[in-house]
Amino acid sequence: MENVKALIFDVFGTLVDWRTSIARETKAILGPLGHQLDWPAFADAWRAEYDPAMQEVRSGKIPFCKLDVLHRRNLDVVLGRNGITLDEPTARHLNLAWHRLDAWPDTSPGLKRLKRKFMIAPCSNGNISLMVGLARRNDLPWDAILGSEIAHDFKPKARVYLAACEALDLPPNEVMMVAAHPRDLAHAASNGLRTGFIFRADEFGPGKSGKPPTEPVDVSSTSVEDLAGKLGA
């Protein structure tokens, strides 16, 4: 563990509260147009299309594209299911709600502490512009934006973890993947990375998620600040 020089982070759920933020943004845009929906359920439905859409890229069925493109296709599906049609500027603005997510309160102060000791970068399936939007909104002091767009594939494909290590000139055992999701960490570990778990009980609704990982992890924590403390930062 003394060898770890960089931390790379999952973002959706681990650092930002996508569910509350998407529900808020959807309500703010669709509500004034006269739509009455269960907004958190709309967020869940949109998010439910996320992994199947990425699987089409992972499997080679379609070529790599930015997550914004998949989010838009998924949004059109969920809007259609609800009988909603939007003009293009509104649909585009709603799709970019993913650039306007709020971070959990511990994220920015925790990253600032960690940056003093480690290189830090997102290793998310989100595209570079999406990560820049979240960082500017939430004061996330990244050293670089890594993840799917530099790897041209989506987690948990090995290429995404390894491309992040390579960009930083580090062997995988000097890089720690940090996530709230055991599957993400298990794939990182299988590629030689160190692993840091953050428990996020409220990701899928109050108290609904955050079972401790069934796979062993190198560090288990309850927030980014707790992680910083446990890593001596």
Site for a copy of itself, rule CB under 8 A: 68, 119, 127-129, 131-132, 135-136, 141-146, 149-150, 167-169
Using DSSP bridges, classify how beta strands 219-221 and 6-9 pair: parallel, antiparallel or unpaired: unpaired
Measured from the CB atom, the residue of 129 and 209 that comes closer to a copy of itself is 129
* Nearest distance in Å: CB 55, a copy of itself: 24
* Min separation Cβ 226 and a copy of itself, Å: 24
Which is closer to a copy of itself, CB of 26 or CB of 127? 127
The CA–CA distances, whole Å, from 112 to 127, 190, 194, 206 equal: 22, 28, 20, 27
* Nearer to a copy of itself (CB atom), residue 37 or residue 128: 128
Rounded to a whole number of angstroms, the distance between the first and last alpha carbons of the chain is: 13
CA atoms within 13 A on the CB side of 213: 24
CB of 183 to a copy of itself, least distance (A): 27
Closest contact distance (angstroms) between CB of 208 and a copy of itself is 33
9, 122 Cβ separation under 8 angstroms: yes
Distance of closest approach, residue 122 Cβ to a copy of itself, in angstroms: 10
Please report how close the Cβ of residue 109 comes to a copy of itself at its closest, in angstroms: 17
| Residue with smaller CB distance to a copy of itself, 6 or 179 | 6
Instruction: Please say which residue, 142 or 199, places its beta carbon nearer to a copy of itself.
Output: 142
Nearer to a copy of itself, 108 or 223 (CB): 108
